[in-house]
Amino acid sequence: MNLSTNVTQFSKEDLPLTDSLSHILPYQNRIMDLLVKYIELEDIHSLEPLLEKGS
């Protein structure tokens, strides 16, 4: 489990949108925007866990 600030913050923003498949489908663009936002920070401690979440 990664507890870096960026991964923790991403998870807080992402969790309500990915609670179930019925949430993921209508929010897929917002979820991807969040993922890109945090990947673009290029935090060495967050990149791998964020990329794993996105796959």
Q: What predicted TM-score, i.e. pTM, was given to this entire model?
A: 0.78
Give the closest residue to 36 by CA, choosing from 54, 18, 15: 54
Return d(Cα 49, Cα 3) in angstroms, integer: 10
pLDDT at 52: 84
Predicted pLDDT at 33: 96
- Tell me the three-class secondary structure of 1-55, residue by residue: CCCCHHHHHHHHHHHHHCCCHHHHCCCHHHHHHHHHHHHCCCCCCCHHHHHHHHC
Q: What is the pLDDT of residue 10?
A: 93
List per-residue pLDDT tens for the chain, 55 residues long. 567 899 999 999 999 999 898 989 999 999 999 999 999 999 988 888 888 865 5
Report pLDDT for 2: 62
